[in-house]
Every structure is written in C-alpha cells, then in structure tokens.
Structure 1
Amino acid sequence: MQLGMKMASPRIGVRLAACLLNISEGRKRDVVEKVAKAALCQDNGQEHPQITVLNVFSDYDYNRSVITIAAPVDKLADGVISACTEAFQSIDMAAHVGIHPCLGAVDLVPIYPLSNVGVQECGTVARNIAEHLSLCVPGCSIFLFGQADLPNRQSLVQRRKQLNWFNRRVLSAARVVADVGSAPTSRYGLTGVGASPYVMNCNVTVDTQDLGTAKKIARSIRGSSAGGLKGVQSMAFRHNGQIEIACNVESFDDPGNPLATYEGSEYVSYCILGKTYYYVSPQIIEASIKKLARDHGINTVGAALVGFTPEECMRCAAYALTKGVGEFWRIRDGVFM
C-alpha cells in the first residue's frame, strides 16, 4: 500500500501512540460511528484537537469493528476512555452474534507505541485506562495483558488461553476473576486492556468451503509452527461463502539474534527510541498462504490489511494531527491511492 500524497513524519520529540480498539459490533453502522466520534469528543462537546481516528473497519460476519485512534501518548487515554464508555453503553454482549471469538462488548484495548514512546510507558497508559473505565463504567470487567500485566507481562495469547477465549460460557464461571473492575456480566462481558509493540491485522481469503484444510494452512504459517512466520498468529473462519485466514502480525525485537537474521528477508524493520522492531510484510503473508493453498489445489481470492502497517500508522497520525483532521477515516481514500 503506497501513500497517495506526501505524509508528514512526526516532529522531533513528538511522542505518539495508537489504540486499535476492537468492539463487538460490526453490523450497526450508526453505533460504530458513535463510538468512533466519541473518541474525539471533549467534556465540553468540542472536538479534541490532539486526537484523531485514523480508520474504522467493520466486518458483518464477524460482527466486529476495529477503530484506530491515535494521539500524543499523554492524550490518548482521553479518547480511548470516551470511545469505550460509548461502546459499553451501546453494545449488549448478551445479544451479540458473530463468527469471530470475543468475550466483551469492548473486546480489546491494545495500546501501541508509534514514535518516541516505549512499550513500558504504553503499559502505564493501558493500566490507567483500565482503572478509569472501572470507575466510569461500573460493572465492567477487565483483564490485563502485555506491558500492562505486571509483574508477569503475559502476552495476549497467553491470557486468552487462560480465559478459554473460544468459550463464552467462561463469563459465567465463578473461577474468572477480573484484574480490574467487577466480575464479568452478560451485558459487558470481559475486556482485554494491554500494551505491546504494534500488531497488524492481515486477512487472506481462500476460495474453498473446506474449513479443515484452511485450518491446516492457518496452522502452517503461525510463528509457533515449525517453518512458520515469526510473530504471526492465525485462525480460519467461514466468511462470505468462502474462508478467511485472519492473521495477527506482531512486531517483535529479538536481541538474541543479530540484525542480519532479519534484514533483507521477508521481515520489515522500523525503529522506535533506538530499538529495532521487525514484522512480516503483508505481501509475504499473502504469498505464503497462496503457496500453501495451491499445494491443496485451492486459490486465494484477495487479501486485506485492516488499517495500517506501523510506519503507515505513524505517518497518518502525524499528518492528521498536524492538519487538525479528527475524522481522518473519512478522507483516508483521498489520501491513499
């Protein structure tokens, strides 16, 4: 994906972070937009000048939306708390139906560094968001992950496994103890709040209805599998009459290996505060799935990046905030080719 107009880089010293807010609503456009607009609204009703919503992605079958909110790190929590509060008011988890696993009306609140900010500070922001939400929305229930989960710093994958993410009945189990807030309720469910290096979402559609084969392909590209792609987690879902292989693509640093291990390969690198991070490019993910699918006599029929790469997110945030564009998602098609 190439930028259609020149994007600003952050001014030296500008400290930017982002939240890829996941909510369990993708079918009611008015509800999703209310949540997105709430991120921009100050207490006085005016638009917050230092917060922007970069992207709003909704999926009908998943009944899920991802809203990308960006701001200076010390302002981000204001927008995220406002958006989450609106989502809790508007979404009843007890009535939710969708094919994507989820536990909460506000399902996931991940905080990512974009420029001049470390993941530890993002973890502090995430913990503050969790504490404020428990006060703003009595009855909400929160678990922490990544840099917000102290002292263990367990990853989102680890925490979801502990909570049996695929089984919503976990919410009524007495053994579920929230890290912050109340015990889970049927209306609000259970919300994950945390921080880590940037995570992209990249989805590839395969032209088959054979879910078993698609799951084998998804397993093959996971970073946890022999020969898989480092930092990639993947699942296969029936989607629009075909099957979509949905991938979370983590950024990672690897001090145990020399830079040459990743430079010049399928991994893309970027730097924040002198630390180099890597991630698998969406093109390599699509090509890998295409090859595996072809080995099973299946074609791929398209790929979609949900939102941005880390660099694109940083550049779009810098542009939107410099230009004072709060609802960047509405002009995004005019900015990108």
Structure 2
Amino acid sequence: MCEPNVSEGRDPGRMARFGAAVEESPGVELIHWSADPDHHRMVLAYRGAPDAVVRATSALAAAVYAEVDLRRQRGQHPRIGALDVVPFVRGPGCAEADALGAARSFGEWAAARSVPVFFYERAAANPGRASLPGIRSGQFEGLAEKLSNPEWRPDLGPRSPHPSLGAVVVGVRAALVRFNMNLDTEDPGPARRIAAAIRESSGGLPHVRALGIPLRRRGLTQVSMNLTRHAVTGVNTVYERVAAGARAEGVALAGCEFIGPVPADALRGLDPGRLDADLGPGQILQLPEAGDREHGGGE
C-alpha cells in the first residue's frame, strides 16, 4: 500500500485529476483520499502488488508535477515537495524487501526527473536522517540552503531543489494513525499549547507528533496528530489529554477526524459517538500490527 501526501488541498479539478491518475493505473485500488484547504494537502491511499503500486505512484507524481508549483503554494502543513512524502506500507503478504524495492524504484523515477530524493524511516540510507520532521525542517523555502550543506546531500537526484517541485521524501513505514481534534476557537494559542504539551519531542506522550493549526475557513483551530505507535499511545489516550487541555484553556471541542486509512487494531475499545468522528468506507484496514522493531513516521 502507498499513502502519498500531495501539496494541494484547494483545487477540486486538480485533486480529481490526481485521484484519476491512480484509479486509472492497472492493478491498484484507490481505497481512500481526503483533503483539507487550510492544510492545503491531499492524502491518498491505494493498494496492489508492489510493481503496480510503483506504476500508480509514478502516474500520480507525473500528474502532480504537471500542475503544482510550490512557489505559489502555502498552507498550514509543513512541506518540502509538490509530492511531499511517499510512504509505502506493508500489507498482508508483502515482504519488507518488496516494500523497500518499491521505495527505491519510485525514488529513482523521481530523481530521473531532477527532483532530489530523501529516503526515510525503514528505507533510510542515512540513519541520522530517518525522521521525516528532521528532513522537512526549513520547508521548501529553506530547502536550497539546506541542500547546500554537505550533510544534507540528497540520497538520489540533484544537489539543489527543483525550482517548482522541491524535493520528495520516500520511505517504508509501519501503519500509523492520523487523528485530529478541533477546538471551537479561532485563537491558535490553545491548540499550539496543547500540541506542545502532548508531543513526544517536547516531553509529552511517547510516539506522538502534534501541531496546533488554525482552520480559518472553518473558524476553528486544530490539534493535528500522528500516532506513530498506536499500540503504545493510542487514540483514547490522546483524546483524554487534548480534552483535558481544552478544558483548562476554557475552549470547547468541535469534533474529531481520522485522515487516511486507520488500522483496525487502533480502533479497539473506542466509542465513535463519543469521539464524534466519521470513518468512511474502506478507511478501516486490516494490516499487520506494528512490532516493536518498526517505527512509523508522521506525515
């Protein structure tokens, strides 16, 4: 399975064409896609045999590269590429070697089109650059300066960013849970403080990545989270912590959402009515549970 993130979340025509590029690729099933105009980001998920998934990803990338120009794109979500991150996720019957081969094949395709490629998580060529947030720090606007540092030489492709497409981060990771909680306030302060309190990097919950993001089009703010090992820190835990933080800030919750596919084991014991979160058809997946040796990456 592949779950690419595209730096486009506002143009319906473009997003339809990106989805069609995958749907029209033989041998793959597009199981879910979603987009948010404030994040300015589209997340797709599709599955098939490794070779078919690589072909579909190349078709998607070609469509994205024909239409997205990062010099004219800015949203709330961090990004360094038009096609920002391409995670391959092993499904039933897929060996890790096949997933790693798929990541490498797509990376070579992108590099041949003058897009710098970084490999992350289990595909990382440089263990010190396995973390997606570390690779993406500085975003597209700081990418040229970053790549001028010999320590940030791309794994494949040119040593300078593509002028309009930036770079792409490609990897193999375990399944993760992308879970967002909205707050009924336009003030971004509470969401940012709650995110800082719960994310692992600032001493919060283990295996949680979190950002506080304004949703200006909805008049809300959001605590946007990736649970990279949901068996360690699950949805119930982060829900309680964010809800408690919201109460302490004096703001009400305004609904939750899951982005992309959700491993079925991550939903055990949850009350969807309490969470006020809808899950669409095909969004709940039976996948191999992540073992302790695997670490999922946040997108």
Query: Is the structural similarity TM-score above 0.5?
Result: yes
Q: Does residue 179 in structure 1 map to residue 179 in structure 2? A: no
Q: 1:279 to 1:31 in 2, by over 3 A?
A: farther
Q: Give 1 or 2: higher strand fraction.
A: 1
Q: 1:33 to 1:231 in 2, by over 3 A?
A: same
Q: Give, in angstroms, the shift of residue 236 of structure 1.
A: 0.5
3-state DSSP class of the match of 2:142? helix
* Shift >4 Å, 4+ stretches: 332-337
Contact 2:6/2:85, CA 8 A, preserved across alignment: yes
Pick from 219, 229, 249 the counterpart of residue 227 of structure 2.
249
TM-score, normalised by the number of residues in structure 1: 0.71
Q: Give, in angstroms, the shift of residue 229 of structure 1.
A: 3.0
Equivalent residues in 2 for 1:1-337 (5 A)?
A: 18-42=1-25, 48=26, 50-119=27-96, 121-135=98-112, 138-152=113-127, 154-157=129-132, 160-165=133-138, 167-173=139-145, 174-175=148-149, 177-182=153-158, 183-226=160-203, 228-239=204-215, 240-251=218-229, 278=231, 280-311=233-264
The separation in 1 between residues aligned to 2:281 and 2:258, in whole angstroms, is 17
CA RMSD of aligned residues (A): 2.5
Q: Give, in angstroms, the shift of residue 291 of structure 1.
A: 1.3
Q: 1:177 to 1:59 in 2, by over 3 A?
A: same
Q: Give, in angstroms, the shift of residue 186 of structure 1.
A: 2.4
Q: Looking at CA atoms only, which structure, 1 or 2, has the larger radius of gyration?
A: 1
Q: Give, in angstroms, the shift of residue 312 of structure 1.
A: 8.2
Q: Give, in angstroms, the shift of residue 72 of structure 1.
A: 2.5
Tell me the amino acid that sits aligned with residue 140 of structure 1: V
Tell me the amino acid that sits aligned with residue 9 of structure 2: G
Q: Which runs of 5+ in 1 are unaligned?
A: 1-17, 43-47, 252-266, 268-277, 314-331
The separation in 1 between residues aligned to 2:95 and 2:47, in whole angstroms, is 15
Find the counterpart in structure 2 of residue 274 from structure 1. none
The separation in 2 between residues aligned to 1:61 and 1:229, in whole angstroms, is 26
Tell me the amino acid that sits aligned with residue 168 of structure 1: F
Q: Give, in angstroms, the shift of residue 134 of structure 1.
A: 2.2
Contact 2:182/2:220, CA 8 A, preserved across alignment: yes
Tell me the amino acid that sits aligned with residue 205 of structure 1: N
Q: Give, in angstroms, the shift of residue 287 of structure 1.
A: 2.6
Bigger Cα displacement from structure 2, 278-287 vs 203-212 = 278-287
Contact 2:70/2:140, CA 8 A, preserved across alignment: no
Percent identity, please.
Answer: 21
Q: Which runs of 5+ in 2 are unaligned?
A: 267-278, 285-299
Superimposed CA distance per residue, residues 171-190 of structure 1 (whole angstroms, 9 cap, x where no aligned partner): 23233532212221221111
The separation in 1 between residues aligned to 2:69 and 2:157, in whole angstroms, is 18
Q: Give, in angstroms, the shift of residue 293 of structure 1.
A: 1.2
Q: Give, in angstroms, the shift of residue 230 of structure 1.
A: 2.5
The separation in 2 between residues aligned to 1:95 and 1:139, in whole angstroms, is 19
Contact 1:106/1:191, CA 8 A, preserved across alignment: yes
Q: Which structure's relative contact order is higher, taking Cα pairs within 8 Å and 6+ residues apart? A: 1
The separation in 1 between residues aligned to 2:247 and 2:99, in whole angstroms, is 41
Q: Give, in angstroms, the shift of residue 289 of structure 1.
A: 0.7
Q: 1:178 to 1:19 in 2, by over 3 A?
A: same
TM-score, normalised by the number of residues in structure 2: 0.80
Q: Give, in angstroms, the shift of residue 35 of structure 1.
A: 1.3
Q: 1:250 to 1:304 in 2, by over 3 A?
A: same
3-state DSSP class of the match of 2:54? helix
The separation in 2 between residues aligned to 1:51 and 1:335, in whole angstroms, is 14
The separation in 2 between residues aligned to 1:335 and 1:100, in whole angstroms, is 25
Superimposed CA distance per residue, residues 145-197 of structure 1 (whole angstroms, 9 cap, x where no aligned partner): 1122125274334xx325524x4332232335322122212211111111111
Contact 2:195/2:210, CA 8 A, preserved across alignment: yes
